[in-house]
A and B are shown apart, each in its own frame.
Chain A
Amino acid sequence: DAGVTQSPTHLIKTRGQQVTLRCSPKSGHDTVSWYQQALGQGPQFIFQYYEEEERQRGNFPDRFSGHQFPNYSSELNVNALLLGDSALYLCASSFGGTQYFGPGTRLLVL
């Protein structure tokens, strides 16, 4: 049984560009959450998707947006990238309970 998968594993962008990160949840999971982990910090909650709708949102600007598809997979989009957006982006999936994390996408903004 495959766990949570994320793509790409690494990404390099320049300031002002836009980026899309992808997440496939663990089989049977219907909820996807996204987190940003800056270097040396704990993960920070961005938002959570359930039934294709954003259910909860953390303290992140509107430049961060997301989507969940009918197959429960999800995308995280970040517009107008800033240097400070450089981080490890983690996706977690769940089904009414514990969140299980993927390996993350490391984004570097130059």
Chain B
Amino acid sequence: AQSVTQLGSHVSVSEGALVLLRCNYSSSVPPYLFWYVQYPNQGLQLLLKYTSAATLVKGINGFEAEFKKSETSFHLTKPSAHMSDAAEYFCAVSDQGTGGTSYGKLTFGQGTILTVHP
């Protein structure tokens, strides 16, 4: 079974500071990994994804994540936080679904709420 652990349910940073959100996964097969962001009272928006190509993945809004197989980690970073980055962030893992190339179900972590102080 696959699982995701997000270390830190709440992270607080100052505007302009480095953002680091931690994600560790468990998977018996090569995983596909995702980061999604959720703003209050909204659905999930895809930030970036890892699908066995480059280990350093760049996403939207200046976010990036590095896949480290030896550490089973996929931490999300942003060099300089902006007030608009305040939201809840979810790391998710997927296996290859049935029927060929389609991704299977997503297994999510518990989420990390990011607060950005002026």
- Near A by CB (< 8 A), chain B positions 54-105 give 90, 92, 97-105
Name the prevailing secondary structure of the B interface residues.
strand
Residues in B with CB closer than 8 Å to A99 are 103, 106
How many A-B residue pairs have C-beta atoms within 8 angstroms? Tell me: 65
Most interface-central of A31, A94, A98 (chain B CB within 10 A): A98
Can you sample 25 A-B contacts with CB below 8 Å?
A: A31-B102, A33-B105, A41-B111, A42-B4, A42-B108, A43-B44, A44-B108, A45-B105, A48-B105, A56-B98, A90-B43, A92-B106, A94-B102, A96-B100, A96-B102, A96-B103, A97-B103, A98-B34, A98-B46, A98-B49, A99-B106, A100-B46, A101-B44, A102-B43, A103-B42
Question: A77-110 toward B: CB 8 Å interface, digit per residue (1/0)?
Answer: 0000000000000101010111111111000000
**A50 contacts partner chain B, Cβ-Cβ < 8 Å:** yes
Partner-A contacts on B (CB < 8 A): 4, 34, 36, 42-46, 49, 90, 92, 97-111
Residues in A with CB closer than 8 Å to B100 are 96
